[in-house]
Amino acid sequence: MANVALIIAGGSGARMHQSIPKQFLSVNERPVIIYTLEAFQKHADIDAIAVVCISGWEQVLWAYARQFNITKLKYVIPGGENGQGSIRNGVFELEKHFGEEDIVLIHDSIRPMVSADIISDCIVKTKQYGCAIATIPCAEAMLQTEDGMCSTGSYPRDNLKRTQTPQGFPLGKICDLHRRALEQGITNSVASCTLMIEMGQQVHFSLGSEKNIKLTTVEDLDIFKALLLAKRADWLKD
Ligand SMILES: C[C@](O)(CO)[C@H](O)COP(=O)(O)O
């Protein structure tokens, strides 16, 4: 049975306010997406990598993959009209090359600190439960707001989880989900886990980490650089 990483790099990263898509921004002389791809390249249980890529950057991606020796990269797939569309394009392409029992780990290209333990746990839990969503506890108080200015309602944080990626599924199951969602006119769910829930399915949790950061704003780049420094210091210690 194969385990395939599907990396979603279809977005333009408007919230980063940079001239190039955030997944291609260079940090310490490496594009962000290369850190992400290296995590899956190095993982012994990952057999192949596919990337859903923003239009116009496909050749750049292949060139970086050659430069940084990402030999598991096999497929570069066009992005969709939004996140759900990009994931749908990705899983429908993978369906042509893999079996329905094979596992697909859907991962944001801009989560470059994903660890081997997170990837391993997502594979194990997907096989065990039929789906696995990397999550972390909610450490802050959570307030509800209608206008972004004030609040009169809160959520009990012990009942909340913060979702990350990877999000793992058997390929047949996630393709079927996307086909049924299209039939029902559900076309803009923010993540695979929310699509599952909107379609009446249960999702199971797998290991996440505060370090598995999503690079959304310029501030996140500073946190990413600090995490890279800390990782390097750990290597030097060992
Ligand atoms: C999939 C995700 O990372 C889960 O937390 C998140 O929903 C992605 O959001 P984005 O708006 O596509 O960056």
**Cα of 237 to ligand 1 centre, how many Å?**
34
Classify residue 63 as exposed, middle or buried by CB count within 10 Å of its CB (0-12, 13-18, 19+).
exposed
Which residue has better confidence, 15 or 184?
A: 184
**Ligand 1 close to Cβ of residue 163 (< 6 A):** yes
Per DSSP, the three-state class of 224 is: helix
Q: Which domain holds residue 108?
A: 3-237
CATH code of the domain in which 15 resides: 3.90.550.10
Q: Where are the alpha helices (DSSP H) in 134-207?
A: 171-183, 192-198
pLDDT at position 195, please? 98
Residue 88 has pLDDT above 80, yes or no: yes
- Name which of 100, 91, 68, 131 is nearest 10 in CA terms: 91
| pLDDT digits 0-9 by tens, 33-68 | 999 999 999 999 999 999 999 999 999 999 999 999
**Cα of 47 to ligand 1 centre, how many Å?**
24
**Ligand 1 close to Cβ of residue 39 (< 6 A):** no
Domain tally for the chain? 1
Please name the residue whose Cα sits nearest to atom 7 of ligand 1: 191
pLDDT at position 218, please? 92
Residue 236 has pLDDT above 90, yes or no: no
> Which residue in the block uniquely carries the two structure tokens 């990397």?
134
**Cα of 83 to ligand 1 centre, how many Å?**
8
- Please provide the average confidence, as pLDDT, over all residues in the chain: 96
Please tell me the distance from the alpha carbon of residue 71 to that of residue 80, in angstroms, as a whole number. Answer: 25
Mean pLDDT, rounded, for 167-181: 98
Distances in Å between the Cα of 7 and the Cα atoms of 53, 91, 189 are: 8, 11, 17
